[in-house]
Every structure is written in structure tokens, then in C-alpha cells.
Chain A
Amino acid sequence: MTTAAAKTMTRTWQPLCTRADLVPYSGVAAWVETAEGPAQVAIFYLPGHEQELYALDHHDPFSGANVIARGIVGDLKGRLVVASPIYKQHFRLEDGQCLEDDSVALRTWKASFKGDEVWIEA
């Protein structure tokens, strides 16, 4: 559940998986414990980019299925995006904003490497 109150809850850094679990230039899904309960996140890995890791909701609000990690990653007009594999809406990796519908955004989390481990702030 995303509520205004939940957003303000404190987030903590936690280990998620390893670099070997990731697929370069694409996504994988993982479970993460958040203060609001367990959530499915999509982790995208872009080696060589200034920011190499992005974490967004794995849940696709348009189809209701958990599939965002299986979308194609790309860039549109200079912004990094992922396209939902079901109905092809684009979501910005940096803030989850849907390009086709202003009123829809995915949640995002901070993620980064500690050595070969992937950590997420949730």
C-alpha cells in the first residue's frame, strides 16, 4: 500500500542479492521487506552508466501483473525508461513516472553496490 504516511516511514539499507544475480542492461525481480510489508521490486542494471542500479515496483499498475522487471530498458528523449511487457507503457527509471499517464508512477528505491552485493534502502 502506498500512502502518504507510509512514504515518510524510515527506510533502512538492506542486502538484496549479488551482482551475479543481475542481468546486464535488463532487469530481475526480488522480494524486499519494507516498513509497509513485503514488496516485489524490479532491479535494473546498467553497467558503465553514472548510476548503475535502479529499483522500482515490479507491479504493473495497468495490467495488475507483477512483470516490470521483464520489460525492455531503453532511453527516450534522454531519460532512462522501462517499457511494461504487457501493454507497453514506459516508466522513468529515476522516479517511476509513467510517460503515457501523468497520474501514474511506480515507487522507487535507492539501490547500490557494496562490493559485489546489491543493497537497497527500503
Chain B
Amino acid sequence: MNTAHSDKTAQLIVIGNGMIGHHLVEQLVERGATERYAITVFGEERHLAYDRVHLSEYFSGRDATSLALSTADYYAEHGIELRLHEAVTAIDRDASEVVTPQGRYRYDRLVLATGSYPFVPPIPGNDRDGCLVYRTLEDLDAIRAAAQNATTGVVVGGGLLGLEAANALRGLDLDTAVVEFAPRLMPMQVDSEGGELLREKIEALGVQVLTGRATQEIVDGEASRHRMVFQDDKVLETDLIVFSAGIRPRDELARDSGLERGERGGVVIDDRCLTSDPSILAIGEVALWQGSIFGLVAPGYQMAKAAAATLVEGDETFRGADMSTKLKLLGVDVGSIGDAHGDRTPGARMFRYLDPLKQQYRKLVVSSDGKRVVGAMLVGDNGVYDTLLQYYANRIELPADPAALILPAGGEGAPTLGPDALPDTATICSCHNVTKGDICATLDAGATDLATVKGDTKASTGCGGCAALLKSVVDHELAARGVEVDQSICEHFAHTRQELYDIVRVEGIKTFGELIEKHGNSEPHKLDSSSAPRLGCDICKPAVASILASFFNEPITDAAHIPLQDTNDTFMANMQKNGTYSVVPRVPGGEITPDKLVVLGQVAEKYGLYTKVTGGQRIDLFGARLEDLPDIWGELLDAGFETGHAYAKSLRTVKSCVGSTWCRYGVQDSVGMAIRLENRYKGLRSPHKLKFAVSGCTRECAEAQSKDVGVIATENGWNLYVCGNGGMRPRHAELFATDLDDDELIRTIDRFLMFYVRTADRLQRTSVWRENLEGGLDYLKEVILDDSLGIGSELEAQMQRVIDAYQCEWANAISDPEKLKRFRSFVNDSRPDPDIIVTEERGQLRPA
């Protein structure tokens, strides 16, 4: 017998490393259960738990790693043994052991988290080649492979997952049809009116919809690989078939070991997630609670919490869960809340609203006394979903005229439910079970922005459905706490950075003086010497300097701009802790000639500079005295270097991998592209620093997915990722566009950068900007890729102006004696600052 761990602690085995099994592990770790249990997790799939909810994104560019919910390191770090690709084949309850092809493992407590499998209707021919299902990464690999020599695809099943699969087939360039047995699409969620509207919308997208069709058999086709024969002898030919006709619990282990199951499957559990054998628990889609199976993550997560509590003697229990959902299927909003059909509530009354032109359908189901929402159904527009859900979930009393809730806004306007009307117990994020009270608690503990709240509570990091509601609650609560949510930049301007930007743009203002005179706050803190204009401060001055620079790109060392700059920008070098500066010449793409390397060495030696290779693929020379900077730069400029803007809020480096020129895997010239990008955007002043990278293939040696702008070569061009961040709060960049050619890539980056420059807050990296961007990535794509605001060419033109105005700031300063005067440590003495004391370490100088 194998025991994974020592016998001293109790053995806990988890079968299934899916979404819920993994959530259980996280819960156990959080509750310190690793102290008392030696935990072993078995997963049948090859992959570590991944985000099945976003599985379809696997087709739109996300890979297995980015879908992963965790890492092997996480498991190892917490001493949890993870046995992937090892399915449990039996449970021997007498011996308290589980059996796998590799061995037997003893358990004290056992958790079943085996999920479910896609149901394939028993149609003759359903096992033909090219008849597939849609549940796992491997399923999607199989679909992708089959789609390669296919032109048509059919999805059997017009439910939620079926439509998602249909969208995926469409994305694989197949002519797609959906075949549904019921008389309408999504029979569980919508009624016949809603279903009809949904059909119209989906057909408009070019997907054929066949309802009321039962497939009798699948045989060889004539024009295509398969022929589906329906009950009325009508036929449909297709190359590929995906079955999505519902799911069934994977309860075979429970069945064989005699655990109690429901009539139609599912392992029976109680409120503590215990099965009929109290040493065994079940959670997730395999579990049957009070006769129901919950096919969504949120209830599964709640079961995982309850199970973790049961295992460590906590007191949470599973109390059932709400199955309300909000989705965008094939771009069509569909929402379903509570008793959407109104057939489970005696005396329920219904309000309906149908707009055939806008193709919107809304149905509100209220209790017989007209006081509460018991259900709702939305097709075509989910705008009122959040409000209705809150009425429903928190049993909030309805207004006198409930119909107003689903009537279009305008006129009187629908009474929306402000965040203040929600009780503290209101669930804001159901995926992570975060209430308004939880959010208030993090704000009381000091959080002052949305990103922090998300980080602390995990709210809105699951399906993302709650993002808008979360933001409104956070904004509202911040305002209630007296935190300025309107974000005036400082006491000198009652404007946000974005507003200042627009003022500069519209009025063509070129100096800080003009801006503060026209738009500054003259009250309430007038200067004593009342005739003098206000000066601004260390918040607004650099912010405005950056805005002006991103328009006119005049040298920042010009007299009008100098008083605005942080010392780093004034002296075009980073100030160190002892008052000396660092020198970082640009090394585009990290490519450097031996000659230039020699010069760097010579200059460093001559001026006694500490030399280090940076994390940005270039070389930093530290410890330069202010008065030496012009001489040092003089020599570097002579050797062909230019400023690296290491001191500026602007483009830092474009990291590259060696790419197709040398690497056996490279599919494009990543170094060439990196250099092109670095030279194009160098000198663009932005709200915060910008980092790029370009990788030559998906091995991603340049780590592009951690950058503000990441580019990864594909066989056909470039994939563009945006809004990544290393640093304090790492964030993976998101795939923004695929297979761009060189010019498309540059045009897209032009627009993206300028839109960021235009709309971000001061010192807001692209990642934080993106987190706070209302409408999220979809909105960003609309603006940049679809030009929904009609500003695309304006953004490009503005970028071109900045690029045309570029000049190396150091070259500019060095040719101007007025500017050079500033690089004296003391205006009346050439003695160096005697307080700068250095000592030697590992053969170089450093501050003493």
C-alpha cells in the first residue's frame, strides 16, 4: 500500500482537481488544515485545475497556463501532494482506501469533487469520428483538430453551453448550426417569447437554428462527413458534431461503493456536505443537495467552504444557492433570475416588455401580493439585471409600480436601486460570496480603491458578472467615507487628470502658467502675495508637464517646463539615496554592439561609476555626481548612445528574445520588432512608465505577458497583449488582438497608448487603469479595434506628432549652455559635495 505522507497525521484525499476541488484546497490552506491533515489530490485530467467557466477563451487565444487556477508550486509549498493524470477507479470503504491504476491509498477523510460529464444522447452513430463534446481542454484540442479539415459544424443542444459551443465553432470559421430538441433555445432559462427573440438574434449572426428536432441517427454524409437524420426524415449534413445536451454527475465511484445517490444520479449530501458515509464528503457538480444538483461555480464554491469547515470543525454549512445567471451568448445578453418562468410560485404575477425593434425582452415575476420579485427573465439587454437581482436576493420591497423596473429608462426613468439601498448582507459577488458588508470592511480597514478591494475580497475575479455593481458600491461607499471619489488632482485644480488633458487638447494650452491661470483653483488658498499666480505643487506640476509633453513633446528642460519636473526629469537621471544620479542609455531591444559595450565600460571606469545589468536588458551606471552628468553624456552621445528615459514616466525598455534570427523555435524577428517599437515610442511621456516586450514564439522568453504592451510572434504575425504589470501587484497581460501584421500591430499600439495617455489617472500603470476601466477589455477593444468612439485616426495622428517631435533630451540639453548651467552642484563654487562618500565593494564603488 502507498501512503503519500507519514502516518502521524490524518490522511485526507480529494478526488477531482476541477474548479471546486481546487477551491476546497485553497479553503483548507486558508484554514490551516494542512497542519492536521496530510492532503493528497487526485486529478484525472493532465492539467492542474483550470477555469472551466472561461474555457471558451482557449479558442480566442488564452492558453492552458493562463487558464490555470493555481500552480504546482502552490501545492508543493503547502505540502499537498498533487497526483495529476491519475484517476481513482474505486473506493474500498471497508479498508478506507482509494484505488488507482498506480496503487492504493489510505484515507481518513475523503472528498468527492469529480464534477460531471457531458451527456451524449443514445443516438446510433454518436461515436463516429468527429462527434465530440465540450467540457475539458482536451475536448477543445480535439475540436480544434477536427475543425482543421471541416467547413461545417453542428451543436446538438441549444442550452447555455450549446450556444457557447456554437460560438466557438463559429470562431473556428465553421458554418454553424444548433439543433435543439425542445421547441425553443435555452428552454431552462427563457420562455417562448424570449426564445423567439434569441433565435432571431442568433440567426442574424449567421448561425442556423433548428428547434424541435430530435436526431434519430447519424450516418455517412454525401457532401459532408456526417449526415444527421431527424424524426421527420429531414437531414442535415455536417463535418463535425459537438454534443451539448446536458451534464450528468460523475458518481460512478459512489455508485460502486454503495453511497446513497439520487434517483437520477448525484451523491446525496447534507448541509455539511457529508455523504451517507460520514467519513466521505462530496462537493460541486457531483453532489446532490435536497434533490438538486447545482451546475454553476458559485454554489460549488459555497459547498467547498462548507466542506472545509466540516473538515476543520468550523460552522459554515451549505444552505442552497441561487441559480440566477447573467450571460452574453454569441454577443446576446441573456439573464435569468429565480423563478423566471413563474411556474414555481403560486399566484405569481408577470409583467412583460417586448421591443421588437431593439430586440429586447424583459419579464418580471412578482409575488401574489405584488411586494417582491420572485423571478425575472431578460433577453437582449441585461442592463437592469443587477437591480432586479438585488430586489430578488435581498427581498427588497417593490416600488408601487413594479413595471417601471423593466420599462425602458427615459421619461420618469426606471427606479434603479442605488448601492445605498442594499443591506450589508446583500451579496455583491456570488462567485466568491462577497457581501456589501465584506466590501465595507475592507474600506474601513484602509482600502481606498477598487483594485485593492478586488485584491482583498476576490470580488469580481470569478465570472466578472458583478463588476459594474461592485464598482458602484465601492464608489458609493468611498464617497460616504469622505474619500474624494471625484478625484480632483490636487488643491490647485478641481479636475481629474483626464479633464486637464481634455482642456489642454481643446484649448491648445502650452504652458502650466496658462493652465493654472485659466483653470486653476484660485480659492480657497490664495497666496499671501495676492498679485502672484499660484505655483501648483509636486502633484499637479509633474502631471501637467506630462500632459503637455504628450501633446507637444517640447524638451522638458525648456525654461517654461523646468520648474514642473521632478528632479529626475530636471537632470535627466535618477536620483539615488545619497543625491547622486544614475545614467542609463537606451539599448533598444537589448541589442548592443561590442564597440558600444566597450564605451560603456570606459565611461564607467573614467567616472567611477558602479555598473550593473538591469532587469530591463540594459546597463545602468550608478553614482554619477550632478556636475559630471554633462561630461558623461557627452561621451556617450559621441559613441552613438541616446537617453534611455530611465528617469521618466515614459517608455522604458522593449525587452526582446533573440527570435528567429538565431533561435530554432523563433517564427518572427522579435529583436527587429522590439527595436522598431522602442525607437517609435521612446520619449512618449505617459501617466506612468511603460514597458514592452517582444517574444519570438510562444515559449515567451521575453516575458511579454507581464508588460504594459506585450507582443508574441505567431506563424501569421503577432499577437498583442496589453495591460500586464510586474512590480508590486503583478498582473498578466490580456490578449488583445491576434495575428496582426507589422503595420496593424503598430497602428493598434499607437491607438492603445494614446487612449491610455488620454484617459488614465496620474501615476496609473496600464494595469490599474484597465482594472478601473468601466466596460473592461471589451470596451477597450471596441474603442481601439472597432473605433467605436470614432477617435482612432485622431489618436494615431497625435502619436505621429509626438514621434515627429522626438529629440534626444540629452543631446538637446548638451548643446545649450543655459541648460548646462543647471548641472552645477553649487552655483558659486566648483568644490564637489563632500558629503557624498563612497566605499569599495566587490571591486566597485557604492555609497558608504
Hey, which bits of chain A sit against chain B, CB under 8 A?
16-17, 21-26, 28-31, 40, 43, 46, 48-51, 59, 63-67, 70-78, 80-81, 83, 85-86, 88, 90
Q: Inside 8 A of A73's CB, which chain B residues have their CB? A: 535, 563
Q: Would you call B343 an interface residue if the criterion is a C-beta within 8 Å of the partner chain's C-beta atoms?
A: no
Contact B526 A78 (CB under 8 A): yes
Query: Contact between A80 and B535 (Cβ–Cβ < 8 Å)?
Result: yes
A86 to B536, CA, bound (A): 19
Given contacts A21-B821, A23-B562, contact A70 B575 (CB under 8 A): yes
CB-based contact A70/B567 at 8 Å:
yes
**Assembled-state Cα–Cα distance A78/B535 (Å):** 10
Whether A40 and B567, one on each chain, are in contact in the complex, defined by CB atoms closer than 8 angstroms, is no
Would you call A16 and B529 a contact (CB within 8 A)?
no
Q: Closest residue of chain B to A16, judged by CB? A: B828
Residue of A nearest to B835 (CB): A66
Q: Separation in Å of the B647 CB from the closest CB of chain A?
A: 11
B349 to chain A, nearest CB (A): 60
Judge whether A26 and B562 touch: CB under 8 Å: yes
State the interface size on chain B (CB cutoff 8 A).
41
How far does the Cβ of A108 sit from chain B's closest Cβ, in whole Å? 16
Closest 10 CB pairs of A and B: A50-B529, A74-B537, A65-B579, A25-B563, A85-B567, A83-B538, A78-B525, A21-B827, A72-B538, A70-B567
Chain B contacts for A66, CB-based, 8 A:
579, 833, 835
8 Å CB interface, B538-569 against A: 538, 541-542, 559, 562-568
Q: CB < 8 Å: which of B527, B567, B825, B831 contacts A78?
A: B527
Q: How far is the CA of A48 from the CA of B135 in the complex (A)?
A: 73
- Whether B835 pairs with A78 at a CB distance below 8 angstroms is no
Chain B residues near A23: list those with CB within 8 A.
562-563, 822
Task: Report A57 CB to chain B, min CB distance, Å.
Answer: 12
18 contacts across the A-B interface (CB closer than 8 A): A17-B828, A23-B563, A24-B563, A26-B562, A26-B563, A29-B826, A31-B829, A43-B827, A49-B529, A50-B528, A50-B529, A64-B835, A65-B577, A66-B833, A72-B564, A72-B565, A74-B536, A86-B577
> Residue-by-residue, is B811-823 near A (CB-CB < 8 Å gives 1, otherwise 0)?
0000000000110
Q: Which residues of B contact A59 (CB under 8 A)?
A: 835
Contact of A30 with B829 in the complex, beta carbons under 8 Å: yes
Q: Do A17 and B538 contact each other (CB < 8 Å), given the known contacts A48-B531, A72-B566?
A: no
Among candidates B532, B542, B575, residue contacting A48 with C-beta atoms closer than 8 Å: B532
The minimal Cβ–Cβ distance linking B765 to chain A, given in whole angstroms, is: 19
| Contact of A71 with B535 in the complex, beta carbons under 8 Å | no
Distance in angstroms between the alpha carbons of A71 and B535 in the assembled complex: 13
Where the two chains meet, the residues of B that have a C-beta atom closer than 8 Å to any C-beta of A are 491, 525-529, 531-538, 541-542, 559, 562-568, 570-571, 575, 577-579, 821-822, 824-829, 831, 833, 835
User: How far apart are the CA atoms of A23 and B557 in the complex, in Å?
Assistant: 12
Closest B residue to A28 by CB, please name it.
Answer: B827
Known: A26-B563, A29-B826, A64-B578. 4 other contacts (CB 8 A): A21-B828, A29-B825, A74-B536, A88-B538
Shortest Cβ gap from B655 to chain A (Å): 29
Nearest chain B residue, comparing its CB with the CB of A20: B821
Residues of B within 8 A of A88 (CB): 538
Residue of B nearest to A76 (CB): B537
Q: Which residue of A lies closest to B525 (CB)?
A: A78
A31 touches B831 (CB 8 A): yes
Smallest distance from the beta carbon of A94 to chain B beta carbons, Å?
9
Inter-chain contacts of B565 with A (CB < 8 A) = 72
CA–CA, A25 and B532, complex, Å? 12
Q: Using Cβ atoms and an 8 Å threshold, which residues of chain A touch B579?
A: 63, 65-67, 86
| Highest count of chain B CB atoms <10 Å: which of A23, A46, A75, A83 | A75
CB of A71 within 8 A of CB of B567, answer: yes
CA of A50 to CA of B527 in the docked complex: distance in angstroms? 10
Contact B537 A25 (CB under 8 A): no
B563 touches A72 (CB 8 A): yes
Do the beta carbons of A70 and B570 come within 8 Å of each other? Answer: yes
Q: How far is the CA of A70 from the CA of B580 in the complex (A)?
A: 12
Output the nearest chain B residue to A45 by Cβ-Cβ distance: B563
How far does the alpha carbon of A88 sit from the alpha carbon of B542 in the complex, in Å?
13
Q: Are B826 and A40 in contact (CB under 8 A)?
A: yes
Report chain A residues within 8 Å CB of B527: 49, 75, 78, 80
Contacts A83-B537, A88-B538 given; does A31 touch B567 at CB 8 Å: no
Indicate whether A31 sits within 8 Å of B575 (C-beta atoms), given known contacts A73-B563, A83-B538, A85-B567: no
Name which residue of chain A comes closest to B532, CB basis: A49
Please indicate the chain A residues that have their CB under 8 angstroms from the CB of B534 in the complex: 75
Q: How far is the CB of B697 from chain A (nearest CB, A)?
A: 43
- Min CB distance B819 to A, Å, is 10
Residue of B nearest to A81 (CB): B537
Asked if B567 contacts A77 (CB within 8 A), the reply is no
Contacts of A24 in B (CB 8 A): 559, 563
Given A72-B542, A76-B491, A31-B828 contact (CB < 8 Å): yes
- For A71, list chain B residues within 8 Å (CB): 538, 567
Q: Which residues of A contact B825 (CB under 8 A)?
A: 29
A75 to B527: give the CA distance in the assembly, Å.
8
Please tell me if the beta carbons of A75 and B833 are within 8 angstroms of each other in the complex. no
A83–B528 Cα distance when bound, in Å, is: 19
Chain B residues lying within 8 Å of A64, measured Cβ to Cβ, are: 578, 835
Q: Is the CB of B835 within 8 A of A30?
A: no
Q: Are A72 and B537 in contact (CB under 8 A)?
A: yes
* Residues of B contacting A30 in the complex (Cβ-Cβ under 8 angstroms): 826-829
B560 CB to closest chain A CB, in angstroms? 9
Q: For the complex, what is the distance from the CA of A48 to the CA of B563, rounded to whole Å?
A: 15
Q: Which residues of A contact B533 (CB under 8 A)?
A: 48
Q: How far is the CA of A42 from the CA of B491 in the complex (A)?
A: 26
Contact of B535 among A25, A31, A51, A63 (CB under 8 A): A25
Cβ–Cβ < 8 Å partners of A22 in chain B = 827
CA distance A74 to B526 in the complex (A): 12
**Would A67 and B575 count as touching, CB distance under 8 A?**
yes
Complex contact B826–A76 (CB within 8 A): no
Distance, CA A26 to CA B556, complexed state (A) = 14
* A73-B535, A75-B527, A75-B535 known; A29-B566 Cβ under 8 A: no
In the assembled complex, the Cα of A77 lies from the Cα of B526 at a distance in Å of 8
Report the separation of the CA atoms of residues A17 and B565 in the bound assembly, to the nearest whole angstrom: 24
In this complex, what residue of B is CB-closest to A43? B827
Distance in angstroms from B162 CB to nearest chain A CB is 58
What residue in chain A is nearest B825 (Cβ atoms)?
Answer: A29
A16–B828 Cα distance when bound, in Å, is 7
CA distance A64 to B848 in the complex (A): 12
**CB–CB B532/A46 < 8 A:** yes
In the complex the two chains form, is A31's CB within 8 Å of B826's CB? yes
Q: Which residues of A contact B568 (CB under 8 A)?
A: 85
Nearest-neighbor residue (CB-CB) of B824 within chain A? A28
Complex contacts, A77 vs chain B, CB 8 Å = 491, 525
Within the assembled complex, what's the spacing in Å between the Cα atoms of A71 and B575? 11
A72 partner, pick from B491, B528, B531, B541, beta carbons under 8 A? B541
Q: Could you tell me if B567 and A76 are in contact, using CB atoms closer than 8 angstroms?
A: no
Give Cα A66–Cα B578 distance, bound, in whole angstroms: 8
Q: Which residues of the partner chain B approach A40 to less than 8 Å between Cβ atoms? A: 826, 833
